[in-house]
Amino acid sequence: MEGGCLCGKIRFTSSVEPKSVVNCHCNNCKRSVGAAYITWAVFQKDCISFNITPPTHTAPNRAVRTFCDTCGTSIAYWHPNRESVIDITVGCLDDPEKCPPERNIWTKKRLSWIEDPGDIPDHLIYP
């Protein structure tokens, strides 16, 4: 599985399929990407390799987000509490069709105008 940012400067590959795919409706994800929610593909961290080390931003809660410093694309997220996994924005994958979401998390922060198709489970916070 491969992907990268909008301008192509940052590319990554994975030797495996994601462990899971989730829609995150938390406020930090909304703000960081500038979107109503983010769909994350969750990978085993040591199975993802980047062509260059992407820039990072570390939030007060120690969450680390990576982005392209040329085009601004949000690429990945990891947190020291979940050391062995890395979340990749599904929109950065070359073939996002392969990664439909399996559940919604942080739905207590879901915007009222987001349609809930009801076909995948909701979790009010991080499960």
Interface ranges with Zn ion (CB under 5 A): 5, 7, 9, 24, 26, 29, 68, 70-71
CA distances 7 to 28, 45, 46, 75, Å, are 24, 24, 25, 12
Closer residue to Zn ion, CB minimum distance, 24 or 99: 24
Report long-range pairs for 64-67 (Cβ below 8 Å, ≥24 apart): 65/32, 66/10, 67/5
**Closest distance to Zn ion from the beta carbon of 67 (Å):** 8
**Closest distance to Zn ion from the beta carbon of 77 (Å):** 7
What is the C-alpha to C-alpha distance for residues 43 and 18, in angstroms, rounded to an integer? 5
Closer residue to Zn ion, CB minimum distance, 14 or 25: 25
**Closest distance to Zn ion from the beta carbon of 3 (Å):** 12
